[in-house]
Amino acid sequence: MRRMGKRERIKLLQKFTTMENLVAAMVIRGESYSQIGKRLSIKRSTVNFHAKNAANKIPGDDILKPRTKLQFWARGARLHQLTGDGWMPGPRT
């Protein structure tokens, strides 16, 4: 399985709504849902809603919490890391 490239991650980001983009970017930077809510003048539950929606648009199972899934994805995690299927890469040739 190959790693998702930067262009593919950007293309996927374009499928996010504006609020999902904002929330995802802030989550990736490490801000808490409460901090994000204060900055955007929305409730913490609304931030959680947008984070869940963004995480659901990323390939992979729902074994990871939305915050963790977004952070792994932003760092270019391989799909097997998001699905937890136990696949291990072979030696490089």
* pLDDT tens per residue, range 2-44: 555 666 665 555 578 889 988 988 898 889 999 999 999 999 9
More confident residue, 28 or 80: 28
CB 58 within 8 A of CB 16: no
Q: Give 43-50's long-range contacts (Cβ < 8 A, gap of 24+).
A: 47/23, 50/17, 50/19, 50/20, 50/22, 50/23, 50/24
pLDDT top residue among 68 and 85: 68
The count of other CB atoms within 10 Å of the CB of residue 47 is 25
What's the fold here for domain 6-83? Arc Repressor Mutant, subunit A (1.10.10)
- Which tokens sit at 43? 């409730």
Average pLDDT over all residues of the chain? 76
Higher per-residue confidence, 4 vs 92:
4
Overall pTM surpassing 0.75 (yes/no): no
* 31 alpha-carbon distance from chain centroid: 14
